Amino acid sequence: MRIVKIVLRIFCIAIFIFGFYLTYILFTGGFDSFSMLIAVIVQQILVYQIFIFLATTILFLKLINKERRRKIYYAVAITGLSLTIIMSLPLIVTPISISNANSEFIAAYGENWEAQIPEEVKKNYFLTSPFAFGAAFLGWPLAECLVEKDIEYYNDGEIRLLFDVYMPKEPTPNLPGNRSIIIMIHGGGWATGDRGQGLPIMKYLAAQGYIIFDIQYGLIDIPELKEYFALAGYDEHNVGENVTVVDQVQHIGNFTKKLSSEYASTYNANLNSVFIMGGSAGGHLTGVVGFGYNEGEGIYAEYFNNTFANNLTIKAIVPLYPANSMREVAEGLGEKLLGVPYNSSSNVFEAFTPSELVDANDPPALIFQGMSDTFVRPYMSAEIETAMDAAGVKCCRILFPFAGHANEMVLNNPHGQVWLYYLERFLYLNQL
Amino acid sequence: MKITKLQLKYFCLIVIVLNLVSAILGVLYYALSTTTLFWLWNLQGIIMFISWILNSLLVFINDRILMKSDNMGKKINLLSYGFLAFIIFAMFFFTIHSLTTSFIDPPMIITYVLAFLALIGIAIFGILLAYLDIRNLENRGVLKVE
């Protein structure tokens, strides 16, 4: 019995030490590369830690003789309860995220923005509140939809690119998505990653009547990044020795051409209502494609002329935690990113920096930004927002306190739920 | 602070009712698996959250008032340890379920089963602990209450 108690005490101390580490991650997003990676997952599952720390605290207290070790008893009680409260912070600040989102929507769509969405749509198809406690703990109820996988859209002998398509289960005519197209661009530091990121969101939106094309693009050959983001996985057929971000945009452009000529009719998708969405590096590419779509006549025409199909109507873009300045990114990742060193005089860096491409004819944007994101710092999306504001284009940038990188992926977490509530409304408002 | 029999009795009754409602609504949540009843899932979640906090509080209170030298006291104490271990495992099950449904397609049925068992298990532990307290309220050899 004595040994069991010693083992339990060691277990409690280990959990407390882990709690201190989680606290460091929660407040800083992690400064070292390992912690930054851990933060992506851990910050999304903190609600469960509330009860792990509460139970551990009570367990630890049960193992201490209060009369004989009064000081230790209270020290454990205070430490344990503090850790429990710290783990509750993402839950506690949810009203702040909701308030941030609401302010952004009011600024973009007016005080009565929600009244622009028919009641029957909100009642029958949309989330009725930005947050549900039950979902936060019990997991997200996945929507049902049709999925077709591994359809090839590009093959030049060296690189082969596939896409998956998510569609509503039944061709119900009155679904709020109206068969609008969403092109999903995955993240992974331009060098890794694959389709399937944001799976519950894609299923949810497909069930609402959107046709979602989750596409691959060529990956830059940066071995260190592939190793670092090993968890993200990647398709080795996508990696090209000379691929740069310019090629990646060309690949996405090729997809839009095939979409226009073939896939829109195959999947009965609406070319007059197209959205581009993606996170991280995919968020950056979303910005470049969305703002570069009409750039054929602009100062960066040399990079965008004939890149995209010309009969798409891009209604809005949804970059999540997007990278922005390519010159700055290239300083860290090297010249493989755009084929030239970051200090070169080439304007290619500016041509592939979303905020540089913004003009008054560009589509509105909805941006997800975790305030503790250490992979893509919040100032990057702030630069995009500033450029959009200056051009007079609507931009809703929702800031999520205590959220890190890719923190909407575990959709039932508080950030994910709030994000989905405003995302479905944003898409609907911009279809109108 | 001393606890009276009546206070403990009402506290335990609240624990039993909240755990029952939380478990029933939780089963409904998994059975219906829809986002259209979000208001109900909010209510379910709040009740569940409170019931889990109260279950933990009951274990803490029991630790203060249980006569651990008594046979029944020992059993309740052991059950309390069981509850604390179970709720930690349950949170791991919920975590795994959340992660797999977010990243793996098609979803893994086993994680649904684990999450479901976690939900029901916590409720059963809570109800059992509260029921044993109520049953032993008059037994001064088991509980030190006024």
Q: What is the DSSP string of A165-218?
A: EEEESS--TT-TTTTEEEEEE--STTTS--S-TTHHHHHHHHHTT-EEEEE---
Q: Where are the alpha helices (DSSP H) in A29-160?
A: 33-42, 46-62, 70-92, 94-109, 119-124, 133-138
Residues of A in contact with B103 (CB under 8 A): 196, 199, 409
Instruction: Please answer whether residues A163 and A151 qualify as being in contact, where contact means their C-beta atoms are separated by less than 8 angstroms.
Output: yes
Domain shared by A101 and A18, yes or no: no
Domain final residue pick, A71, A92, A113: A92
Task: Mark yes or no for CB contact B35/A55 under 8 Å.
Answer: no
Is residue A245 within 8 A of residue A220, CB to CB? The reply is: yes
In chain B, residues with a C-beta closer than 8 Å to the C-beta of A204 are: 35
- Residue A354 in contact with residue A288, Cβ under 8 Å? yes
Q: Do A137 and B46 touch (CB under 8 A)?
A: no
- Based on the fold, state whether residues A143 and A291 are members of the same structural domain: yes
Mutate to test the interface with B, among A12, A58, A417 (most CBs of B within 10 A): A58
Q: How distant is the alpha carbon of residue A364 from its chain centre? A: 17
Of A55, A128, A135, the CB nearest to B87: A55
- The predicted pLDDT at position B2 comes to 80
Q: How confident is the model at residue B110 (pLDDT cuts 50, 70, 90)?
A: very high
Structural domain including A366 reads: 95-431
Is A87 in the same domain as A118? Answer: no
Kindly state the greatest CA–CA separation across chain B: 56
Are the beta carbons of B38 and A124 separated by less than 8 Å?
no
Do A80 and A120 share a structural domain?
no
C-alpha distance from B14 to closest chain A C-alpha (Å)? 20
Q: List own/partner pairs for A258-265 with CB under 8 A and 24 or more apart.
A: A258/A153, A258/A154, A259/A181, A259/A183, A259/A213, A259/A309, A259/A312, A260/A309, A260/A311, A260/A312, A261/A309, A263/A153, A263/A165, A263/A213, A264/A181
Examine the pLDDT at B81 and tell me if it is beyond 80: yes
**B89 alpha carbon, distance to own chain's centre:** 13
- Same domain assignment for residues A147 and A134: yes
Res B100 pLDDT > 90: yes
Chain A residues close to B59, C-beta within 8 Å: 58, 62
pLDDT in tens, chain A (432 residues): 789 999 999 999 999 999 999 999 999 988 888 999 999 999 899 999 999 999 999 999 999 998 899 999 999 999 999 999 999 999 999 999 999 999 999 999 999 999 999 999 999 999 999 999 999 999 999 999 999 999 999 999 989 999 999 999 977 778 999 999 999 999 999 999 999 999 999 999 999 999 999 999 999 998 888 888 877 788 888 888 889 999 999 999 999 999 999 999 999 999 999 999 999 999 999 999 999 999 877 789 999 989 999 999 999 999 999 999 999 999 988 899 999 999 998 999 999 999 999 999 999 999 999 999 999 999 999 999 999 999 999 999 999 999 999 999 999 999 999 999 999 999 999 996
Q: Which DSSP letter does residue A107 get?
A: H
pLDDT at A223: 86
Q: For an interface test with A, which of B91, B93, B113 has the most A Cβ atoms less than 10 Å from its Cβ?
A: B91
What pLDDT sits at residue B72?
92
Contact B48 A204 (CB under 8 A): no
Contact A49 B91 (CB under 8 A): yes
A132·B88 Cβ contact <8 A: no
What pLDDT score does A231 carry?
76
Q: How many CB atoms lie within 10 A of CB A25?
A: 22
Of residues A258, A164, A266, A262, the one with CA closest to residue A216: A164
From A317's Cα to the closest Cα of chain B, the distance in A is 23
State whether A83 and A167 are in the same domain.
no
Rounded Cα distance, A289 and A307, in Å: 10
Facing A54 at nearest CB: one of B35, B56, B104 = B56
The contacts of residue A172 (CB under 8 Å, 6+ apart) are A209
Predicted local distance difference test score (pLDDT) of residue A350: 95
Question: Do A163 and A291 lie in a common domain?
Answer: yes
Q: Which residue in chain B has the smallest CA separation from A413?
A: B98
Q: Are residues A209 and A108 in the same domain?
A: yes
Give residue B3's pLDDT.
Answer: 87
Best of A49, A51, A415 to disrupt the B interface (most B CBs within 10 Å) is A51
- Looking at the partner chain, which of A56, A128, A200 has a beta carbon nearest the beta carbon of B102? A200
Distance CA A278, CA A389 (A): 21
Report the C-alpha gap between A182 and A204 in whole angstroms.
12
Same domain, A173 and A320: yes
* Residue for token pair 């452009």: A253
CATH number of the domain within which A165 lies? 3.40.50.1820
Q: Return the amino acid letter for B108.
A: M
Measured between CA atoms, how close is A148 to chain B, in angstroms?
Answer: 12
Q: Looking at A53, A69, A92, which one is the last position of a domain?
A: A92
Both tokens of A187, joined, read 């993240």
Instruction: Give the per-residue pLDDT at A186.
Output: 96
Mutate which of B18, B35, B83 to test chain A, going by most A C-beta atoms within 10 A?
B35
Cα atoms in the 13 Å half-sphere on the side-chain side of A62: 29
ipTM score here?
0.96
pLDDT over 70 at B1, yes or no? no
pLDDT for the residue A2:
86
Structurally, how many domains does chain A consist of? 2
pLDDT tens digits, one per residue of B112-125: 999 999 999 999 99
pLDDT of res. A317: 98
CA dist A185 and A324 (Å) reads 15
Angle (nearest 5°) at CA A167 between A164 and A172:
170
- Residue A365 DSSP SS3: strand
A23 and A140 together in one domain: no
Q: Do A285 and A249 form a contact (C-beta atoms < 8 A)?
A: yes
Over pLDDT 90: what percentage of chain B? 79
Residue A410 gets which letter from DSSP?
S
The whole-angstrom distance between B51's CA and the closest CA on chain A is 12
Pair A163, A281 in one domain: yes
Determine the residue of chain B that is closest to A132 in CA distance: B42
Domain C-terminal end among A65, A92, A119: A92
Of B26, B80, B88, nearest to A138 by CB-CB distance is B26
Q: Give mean pLDDT, residues B97-109.
A: 91
Residues A84 and A120 in one domain: no
**Which residues in chain A are closer than 8 Å to B88, comparing Cβ atoms?**
51-52, 55-56
* CA-CA-CA-CA dihedral for B22, B25, B28, B32, to nearest 10: -120
- C-alpha A167: how far from its chain's center? 21
